[in-house]
Structure 1
């Protein structure tokens, strides 16, 4: 009589687990790995793009900042369009085969990763005759593009939303009034939009994201008779208020009280962002701006701009080249990203032929730290990562935004 042997049962596979357990596991994996994981199976691909996994990432605090770059593209000799590109986050782009580059500054080497990948977002291209000069901002995982110019070269009421989870676009509810070159900011689950309309309709409006409605009872009054939203101004959210910085005065709108306040001299220095026409952003209720190769922060207590210490390396990387500032981005986690376009000088070869090197879009991740000294509060910065992507001919970077995913 032969002894019958039975094979041991195969170990359970990962895909045999309940979806909720798989989602909990995958939510802890860096999003930079999702592209490879989505190739495992159709079910993985579906889970990795589902609302459930993003909800799980948010719940356990695993969200990561992702950079999106809007570029102006010259498609033909007469046709231009805008398109969104997704950039791999600056701390997870893998460069293989020793292709890392280094910049020597004052004897120290700064690591610069080459050829940061620009991944085009599908169906995100639009011709300038359709949409341009719109306000752009981030709310949650969505990029809102508000107003602009329509096909008839007139102000637009339209709202276009780019879902950065699924990379799909949708139309949002239209504004109450058409706007071009409006300013917008986010505060307490609402999007505040001001300016860009005719002088007769000189007011702002508010979009409640939860209810997806432009609520008429939330219309913003004009701050005073001498101020018009069609003048040069900037809008920012700071400390629970909406601040409007104009060339003449500074105003604050308190949503709880529903009224405008004329600010005292403590905010006078904020006019510098208008006078200099420079890039700026708000991080942790502090306004930062870039000017003349340096990073500054605004001290409300004394009404002055103070330099961010410790960023001499950043100055040296830009001082010897022609460049155009693109954006100063709130990267979250006490960090900002400085984005600039390097415009290289033509190089004359031995045969007297002029060669123009390719332009580069540079990205510097700066970690900021507050320090209390005997002389008061100071802010120090440290370059965590310096990367660039090549700009091929007709691609010009316009706007850079950070989205948590």
Structure 2
């Protein structure tokens, strides 16, 4: 095959590679310098998009407890069918207190960088390139960030005087809008906050309070039913929030349409495996959940990841989960998850 492909016209080679899963591109880049340039070319990804061959990939921001560094990893499928987290090289050190948002093939990062002068960059995951963005016009410690209709909303604290504000970044124009005020009741909270988007609204939670922001109405409100549980490290699939309740050893789901909580069925074996992990994190990509947790084998720490497909039953009153696979994706080291991101490549 190696002798046949180089003799084909360039556009035919690109067409063939565009139909191959992106998880194989790291291996294909080892074939030759020509292939290495093709798998990171604009022509290849334009062709993938035209053919409808793009894929949802899970990217994970991990903190290395041994040196305090935050780095970006991608979930890849190995030749034997198992999965692993692979470090994305040649990126600046990511900010410890930063906001991370995935939009298509790009990851937007906001915070204080040590190695670059900007406080906002984007990472194009197709080519593993970094692009500077216009800096925020305020000095701000980002608490949470998420996206609605192409606008990234960042909430955090600025100084002089100390107060909580919201900044909005338009990903189309790459411009910042004037900062927005937040309710007085929010000030003093949201230092260790969670944020998800459901049905066009931002749901924010810290250990004590929940807040809901509707950007269309520029309105803040609360959701008492959502406040029934102290949801942490949650993700959304089809406008339903999911999080692992480690205290009860169950996966909970909240549907804002019915303002109701349910326990996801069918995951007893997986949840028993995660019961005594040091930490756990819920991610989502391509309409499925990813549950990430730790295990210790002897003196070696392992990060384990399971992909979960979801099914609604009994007119949506029940949610069932099915484990598609569960692998040890990173062996050794002492890490924890800062953020998971659904990237399209």
Q: Could you say whether these structures have the same fold, taking a TM-score greater than 0.5 normalized by the shorter chain as the test?
A: yes
Q: Which residue of 1 aligns with 2:37?
A: 46
Q: Counterparts of 2:198 and 2:336 in 1: how far apart (Å)?
A: 31
1:301-356 alpha-carbon deviations (Å, 9 max, x no partner): 4433201111112122223x44311x211111x31101112245xxxxxxxxxxx4
Matched ranges for 1:12-31 at <5 A: 14-31=5-22
Tell me what 1:328 maps to: 282
Aligned to 2:73: 85
Partner of 2:26: 35
Q: CA deviation at 1:60?
A: 2.7
Match of 1:370 among 309, 312, 319: 312
TM-score, with normalisation over the residues of structure 1?
0.73
Identify unmatched segments of 5+ residues in structure 2: none
State the distance in 2 between where 1:44 and 1:396 align: 34
How do 1:62-81 residues align onto structure 2 when only pairs under 5 Å count?
A: 62-73=53-64, 79-81=67-69
- Contact 2:200 2:214 (C-alpha < 8 Å) held by counterparts: no
Matches within 5 A, 1:253-332: 253-255=214-216, 257=217, 259-263=218-222, 267-272=223-228, 275=230, 278-292=232-246, 293-319=249-275, 321-325=276-280, 327-332=281-286
Corresponding residue SS for 1:126: coil
Q: Does 1:165 align with 2:142?
A: no
Change (3 A) 1:250 1:86: closer
Aligned residues: 337
**1:206 aligned residue:** 168
**Corresponding residue of 1:109:** none
For 2:68 and 2:195, the matched residues in 1 are separated by 29
Contact 2:142 2:155 in 1 (8 A): no
Contact 1:157 1:179 (8 Å CA) reproduced: no
**C-alpha distance 195-157 of structure 1, shift in aligned 2 (>3 A):** farther
Structure 1: 5+ residue stretches without partners = 1-11, 97-112, 345-355
- The CA RMSD over aligned residues, in Å, is 2.9
- Structure 1 residues 343 and 301 mapped into 2: Cα distance closer, same or farther (>3 Å)? same
Q: Tell me the SS of whatever aligns to 2:279.
A: strand
Shift of 1:283: 1.2
Once residues 266 and 36 of structure 2 are traced to their aligned partners in structure 1, the CA distance between those partners, rounded to angstroms, is: 44
Q: Is the 8 A contact 1:74 1:81 kept in 2?
A: yes
Q: Give runs of ≥4 in structure 1 deviating > 6 Å.
A: none
Greater strand share, 1 or 2?
2
Give, in angstroms, the shift of residue 299 of structure 1.
2.7
2:341 equivalent in structure 1: 401
Alpha carbons of 1:52 and 1:42: their partners in 2 closer, same or farther (altered >3 Å)?
same
The more displaced of 358-367 and 35-44 is 35-44
Change (3 A) 1:83 1:226: closer
How many angstroms apart in 1 are the aligned matches of 2:68 and 2:241? 34
